[in-house]
């Protein structure tokens, strides 16, 4: 899996290794479905503080198109974890929906009495 990291903020740039480890861990079971992940960290309102750390993740998937999610939190790690969780849930939901559509709906046999 290819992971592209972007950030202009000096503190966020120090998170590069952590971001790569977390993305690989969160997507380890979806590795075949997600060949590329773009992660962007930004400080929304500068030095004023508050809930201003934004993480945007764009996953290029095979079959589900591009999935883009973002999260805003008080620190970089929380924003990253929330965005990753949201992205994984979405990819799994699309994959399950496609799997059910390929197999056809399973209908239980009617009991005859």
Predicted TM-score (pTM) above 0.85:
no
Domain ranges of the chain: 2-103
Tell me, what's the pLDDT at 50?
Answer: 67
DSSP per-residue codes, the chain: -EEEEEE-SHHHHTTHHHHHHHHHHHTGGGTTT--EEEEEEEESSGGG-SS-EEEEEEEEETTTEEEEEEEEESSHHHHHHHHHHHHHHHHHHHHHHHHHHHH----PPPPP-
Question: If you average pLDDT over residues 13-30, what whole number do you get?
Answer: 92
Whether 104 has a pLDDT exceeding 80, the answer reads no
pLDDT at 13: 85
How would residue 56 be classed by pLDDT, with cut points 50, 70 and 90?
very high
pLDDT for residue 105 is more than 90: no
Does 109 have pLDDT greater than 60? no
Residue 28 confidence (pLDDT)? 92
- Token duo for residue 43: 């400080």
Greater pLDDT, 52 or 22: 22
Residue with the bigger pLDDT between 1 and 98: it is 1
CATH of 2-103, one of 3.40.720.10, 3.30.930.10, 3.30.160.100, 2.40.50.140: 3.30.160.100
Count Cα atoms within 13 angstroms, Cβ side, for 50: 5
pLDDT in tens, 73-103: 988 999 999 999 999 999 888 888 877 776 6
């Amino acid at each position: 899996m290819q992971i592209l990291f972007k950030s202009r903020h000096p503190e966020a740039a120090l998170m590069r290794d952590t971001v790569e480890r977390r993305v690989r861990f969160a997507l380890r079971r979806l590795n075949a479905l997600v060949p590329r992940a773009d992660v962007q960290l930004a400080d929304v309102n500068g030095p004023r503080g508050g809930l201003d750390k934004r993480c945007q993740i764009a996953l290029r998937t095979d079959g589900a198109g591009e999935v883009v999610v973002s999260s805003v939190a008080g620190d970089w790690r929380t924003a990253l974890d929330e965005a990753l969780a949201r992205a994984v849930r979405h990819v799994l939901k699309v994959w399950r929906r496609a799997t059910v559509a390929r197999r056809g709906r399973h209908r239980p046999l009617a009991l005859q009495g």
